[in-house]
Amino acid sequence: ILNVEQSPQSLHVQEGDSTNFTCSFPSSNFYALHWYRWETAKSPEALFVMTLNGDEKKKGRISATLNTKEGYSYLYIKGSQPEDSATYLCAFRNSGNTPLVFGKGTRLSVIA
Amino acid sequence: EAQVTQNPRYLITVTGKKLTVTCSQNMNHEYMSWYRQDPGLGLRQIYYSMNVEVTDKGDVPEGYKVSRKEKRNFPLILESPSPNQTSLYFCASSDTFTGGTDYGYTFGSGTRLTVV
């Protein structure tokens, strides 16, 4: 079973703070890395799908980077807002015919 | 509206009573999958299907069955539910992810199952 690690497990920040968290995955055999946002009582929603080393993606105040050679991706949130409070999941795939393996997530709480 | 529809949202049942959780998508996706979410364990894959009549075991398939007779539907069957199958279940679908492309999953709204 592939190991996808996310850190930290949980995070509390003040409104307006910028924050980031990490997803680590096996650096051998990379196909794709996904980020999802999962609000309580809702279903996970795709944020980014990243496939190339050095990829940087951005959606509003949220951005992500990818380093496939060293096996990590960072998710950044600039100027956190209470509505950013959610669990952020990353998921990794090592080939084009295998399913995603999810990390356990980073739970972000933004305090107003 | 493009979506994955799961039913029921909530279900309480007794040990041993067969049940089916339905999942249907309207996006013509080839890939569908079932996950269970348990505290501290993250999303764990139960079964997945790359296309009609093609299903494969995920990481935790014991006690579950699936079928994929048509593209849009991927029901999860618990023939004899046990309390350790109490969990939050998600169905997900996506376009196929071969040939250098990859697509995000669309998740259903979840089914919270309690087996007593």
- CB-nearest to A49 from B41, B48, B103 is B103
**pLDDT tens across B56-73, in order?**
999 999 999 999 999 999
State whether residue A51 is helix, strand or coil.
coil
CB atoms within 10 A of CB B26: 12
Residue B20 Rama label (left phi>0; alpha psi -120 to 50; beta): beta
Q: Across all residues in chain B, what is the average pLDDT?
A: 93
Q: What is the rounded distance in angstroms from the CA atom of residue B58 to the CA atom of residue A14? A: 39
Residue A38: closest CA among A111, A101, A107, A93:
A107
In chain B, which residues have pLDDT < 70?
97-100
- Residue B100: per-residue pLDDT: 60
Those of residues 72-111 in A touching chain B at CB distance below 8 A are 89, 91, 93, 96-97, 99-105
- Residue B98: per-residue pLDDT: 63
Contacts of B42 in chain A (CB under 8 A): 89, 102-105
- CB-nearest to B109 from A43, A48, A100 is A43
- CB-nearest to A43 from B45, B98, B110 is B110
State whether residue A72 is helix, strand or coil.
strand
State whether residue B54 is helix, strand or coil.
strand
- Residue A41: per-residue pLDDT: 87
**pLDDT tens across A24-74, in order?**
999 888 999 999 999 988 999 999 999 999 999 999 999 999 999 999 999
